Structure 1
Amino acid sequence: MEATPQCRNQTDNDSFDENGILLPGLPDDLAQRCLFSLSPSLLFSVCHPWRRFLYSPSFPPFFSLYALVSPLQNSTPRHPGQVVPQNTIEFISFDPISSSWTPLPSLPQDPPLHLLHRHPSFLSRNLPIQSLTVSNHLILIAATSHKLLPALSSPLVFNPESSSWFYGPQISTPRRWCATGSVRGVVYMASGIGSLYKGDVARSLEQWDLNKKRENWRWENKAELKDGRFSREAVEAVGYRGKLCMVNVKGNAVKQGAVYDVGLDKWEEMPQGMVAGWNGPAAAMDEDVIYVVDEVKGSLSRYDGERDCWVKVIELEQLKRAEQIAAARGKICAVSGNGERIIVVDVGDRPARFWEVAPPRGLEVVAVHVLPRMCSRQR
């Protein structure tokens, strides 16, 4: 993600702003080649033609935050007379260049979706909404309906390039409380519970290869887990060096770890050091480095595979109570403070620096992802 620009006021000196010329004296194709090398922040700040070029299909999309959000309990309506629903999920995107939130296009209406973050009868407990980012797509893979049943019979996919939603291949057994993750463009769904607990489902592992042509998409059965202990809560499975890594319980509880070798199609025991330090939400950076946040201590650590230990990157009060994290392009994005803020840590800096992004008023963040910005926007 790009840093937020300091926008200057437009002046009469922006003579080429009025007639849409990108660079005086140059045809648009040559001017575009010159502007490709400039940062999105600069393009946004200088003039309206450059800003329009930044958001046009001709300019390579910069990366933005995508968030799943839920209305706060007893929140104030965002518009006069508006009745705020208490049990829905919305999808929004944060443009780091303009520092603005934009709703994603409406979800498909057929079949109608009921995605709950809370249930009126269980106000003290949040229901999991499981999502992941694969091959520059946002994928919603498991959730709970208003009848406390699995809400999705097929994964719901958003493509930023076309700004459109569509469904993936049908899931053999719709489920929730499962482990979800990806390795090199392949989605994996392990364990979980359908409408009822079944041992074969709790031990199952299935994959969906997005590298194949869309007409060949389907779920394929892979090597089973040895038991059903990973159906206890919603789990993020992290792709790491061609393997899928996960633990069955979050926090500082006794936990079981498992590693799935994608190439060999078999499960392995997780290294003890990795299990011991996996005390909160985790994410991988390009399947090369695993980062984990200890939501009690507020520390962000990375895994050292050579020494089988976790190395602290930064400790922040703001990372306490972190609920979910995403990693991409040198940034770690953490949902914290009961969804009241997103903490962005730049791990490429030494020392690591951080900043906060607040959701729109009346909304709390459930999950966050990093994807290219939507291409259809104009400024």
Structure 2
Amino acid sequence: MANAFTFSTKRKEITGHNHQQHDEAILLPGLPDQIAQLCLSFINPSLLYSSSNSIEFFNFDPISPTWHLLPPPPPLHHVLLHHPSFISRNFPIQSVSVSHNLILLAATTHNFAPALSHPLIFNPLSKTWSFGPPLSTPRRWCAAGAVRGTVYVASGIGSHFSNDTACSLEKWDHDHQGEWKRKSSLLKNGRFSREAIDAVGWRGKLYTVHVKAKEGMAYNVDKDEWEEMPEGMLRGWKGPVAAMDEDVMYLVDEAKGALRKYDHEKDLWEEIMESERLKGAQHVAGGGGKLCVVCGGNGIVVVDVVASPEKLWVLDMPMGFEALIVHIFPRMTRPDFDFPVLPSTYME
């Protein structure tokens, strides 16, 4: 397995000393639980839970097997991951992998503004962070992806909502160190500015899908045109998708926990396997014949799609951390910087 790069957040909850105390705990002494819950609903959730929004970047070496903490990036200007006023919503850091580099493209600050004015790039070979050229319009809640070594961002929101930004698309050719260029092709409306979307590069096109709204479009990079997606592809797009080498698309049905592969000739998603561990999938990355799936828990689900039959196991996260997103790169040499090395175990 190649190296898995992930960035994670450390979270803590105030809990009882043991399960028995937790089960028997009284919410508010002297009040029935139903009334106590009603009273507590008026209290800011940040006062009920102790949490840390700190972000760490890790590299997993499958040979050791150990997690290595990467050098910290430049300050990310108070990046917001969770907010007590939006309990059901996460504020993601949007990223892509291009030419074996990790590129951070968009995030949200504590005052709901774009956090990144420039792409932030990590090079695994030099083990260093650097900045890319400035975005013409820094964004958050956009569609971000890559095709053939070129990075694309579309739609989203800048410092404030603008229909011009919500309908726009710009690209950056990372391999040739170019500047961001705004493309002439425009979205018909700003419908993709409501969610952060992992745009999937596949066979010369960039697919952007709003899963919950069942809306999707494909951008043809050669023609500089937005096109309708194949009907079967969009209908079956029910969770995160990854394109292995931009050639084979895999999908994880977040509700059923089913792993599927797209058949472009039949325009349908063929089921490969189903597992309880895949339910609630939030993000998937593909490379080297493996899929890594983030499902919101403490581990990363790994599926070997080349093996017959397919193999699935869970990769433990460093203690106290949960994965936000993962990328797959060729194996790095052992880090020569002085950062903690954390052991991990596989769960077959």
Q: CA deviation at 1:95?
A: 0.8
SS at match of 1:225: coil
Asked if 1:170 is matched to 2:143, the reply is: no
Q: 1:267 to 1:147 in 2, by over 3 A?
A: same
Q: 1:323 to 1:295 in 2, by over 3 A?
A: same
Asked if 1:219 is matched to 2:180, the reply is: yes
Give the RMSD, CA atoms, in angstroms. Answer: 1.8
Runs of 4+ in 1 over 3 A off after TM superposition: 120-124, 373-376
Runs of 5+ unmatched residues, structure 1: 2-62, 77-83
SS at match of 1:267: strand
Rg: which structure is higher? Answer: 1
Asked if 1:145 is matched to 2:145, the reply is: no
Q: CA deviation at 1:88?
A: 2.3
- C-alpha distance in 2, partners of 1:122/1:308? 37
SS at match of 1:114: coil
Asked if 1:66 is matched to 2:66, the reply is: no
User: Are the counterparts in 2 of residues 327 and 370 from structure 1 also a CA contact under 8 Å?
Assistant: yes
Q: CA deviation at 1:377?
A: 2.1
Q: Which residue is equivalent to 1:367?
A: 325
SS at match of 1:70: strand
Q: Which residue is equivalent to 1:194?
A: 158
Q: How does 1:294-305 map to 2 (within 5 A)?
A: 294-305=253-264
User: Are the counterparts in 2 of residues 88 and 117 from structure 1 also a CA contact under 8 Å?
Assistant: no
Q: CA deviation at 1:301?
A: 0.5
The one-letter code of the counterpart of 1:352 is E
Q: Which residue is equivalent to 1:99?
A: 65
User: Which region of structure 1 is more displaced relative to structure 2, 253-262 or 182-191?
Assistant: 253-262
User: Are the counterparts in 2 of residues 162 and 374 from structure 1 also a CA contact under 8 Å?
Assistant: no
- C-alpha distance in 2, partners of 1:94/1:359? 9
Q: How does 1:32-43 map to 2 (within 5 A)?
A: none
Q: CA deviation at 1:119?
A: 2.6
Q: CA deviation at 1:310?
A: 0.4
Asked if 1:230 is matched to 2:188, the reply is: no
Q: Which residue is equivalent to 1:324?
A: 283
User: Are the counterparts in 1 of residues 168 and 182 from structure 2 also a CA contact under 8 Å?
Assistant: yes
User: Are the counterparts in 2 of residues 182 and 237 from structure 1 also a CA contact under 8 Å?
Assistant: yes
SS at match of 1:89: strand
Q: Which residue is equivalent to 2:231?
A: 272
Asked if 1:308 is matched to 2:267, the reply is: yes
SS at match of 2:318: coil
Q: Which residue is equivalent to 2:21?
A: none
- C-alpha distance in 2, partners of 1:146/1:75? 23
User: Are the counterparts in 2 of residues 88 and 116 from structure 1 also a CA contact under 8 Å?
Assistant: no
Post-superposition Cα deviations, 1:229-282, rounded to whole Å, max 9, x if no partner, equal 11110111111111111212x2xx441111111111111100110000000011
Post-superposition Cα deviations, 1:302-346, rounded to whole Å, max 9, x if no partner, equal 11111110011111110000110001111111001x232101101
Q: Which residue is equivalent to 1:89?
A: 55
User: In percent, how many aligned pairs have the same letter?
Assistant: 52
The one-letter code of the counterpart of 1:221 is R
- C-alpha distance in 1, partners of 2:99/2:188? 30
TM-score with structure 2 setting the length: 0.83
